[in-house]
Amino acid sequence: MAVVIDNEGKCLALEAKENIEPKSAEKMTGAMADVVAALEKLSVEIEILTGKSFLPQEGWALMGQHLSVVMGNGGFRGIVMEEDSEGDGFLFKELLQELQNGDAAGSSPEEGALRDHSA
């Protein structure tokens, strides 16, 4: 599933193989925005502690047993995906690299063929 959110957690675009209810998508994207906000706060504290710049945030990633989430573009564009059967995180690592390079999910909702959910 590919997703684009705004800083308030509103789902701007979503592309998934399965049908996802808008309320479910909004709950998920709201939680994603919460993660971005929490990481921004953590980043400020790391900067204060170390004296080294941590911001702007490039993105974040969460790797689970069967699913992984990789969010790039400051944490606002990314993918929720099933991990490979080997469990070695290969897909996760590849996608993280693509998001850092701006290649995954297109550079705009139109290029990534993501459905608009802003209405």
If one compares 25 and 117, the residue with the highest pLDDT of the two is 25
Q: Mean pLDDT, to the nearest integer, of 20-27? A: 90
Nearest to 44 by CA among 32, 57, 61, 35: 57
Instruction: Collect all residues with Cβ–Cβ distance below 8 Å to 65 and sequence separation of at least 6.
Output: 83, 87
Q: Give the domain range for residue 87.
A: 2-116
Backbone angles phi, psi at 32, to 5 degrees: -65, -40
Q: Is the pLDDT of residue 107 over 50?
A: no
What DSSP designation does 43 have?
H
Question: What pTM did the predictor assign?
Answer: 0.69
Percent of the chain with pLDDT strictly greater than 70: 72
Q: Please count the structural domains in the chain.
A: 1
pLDDT category of residue 62 using cuts at 50, 70 and 90: confident
Residues 105 and 16: beta-carbon distance below 8 Å = no
Instruction: For residues 85 and 54, give the distance between their C-alpha atoms in angstroms, rounded to a whole number.
Output: 34
CATH number at 86 reads 3.30.450
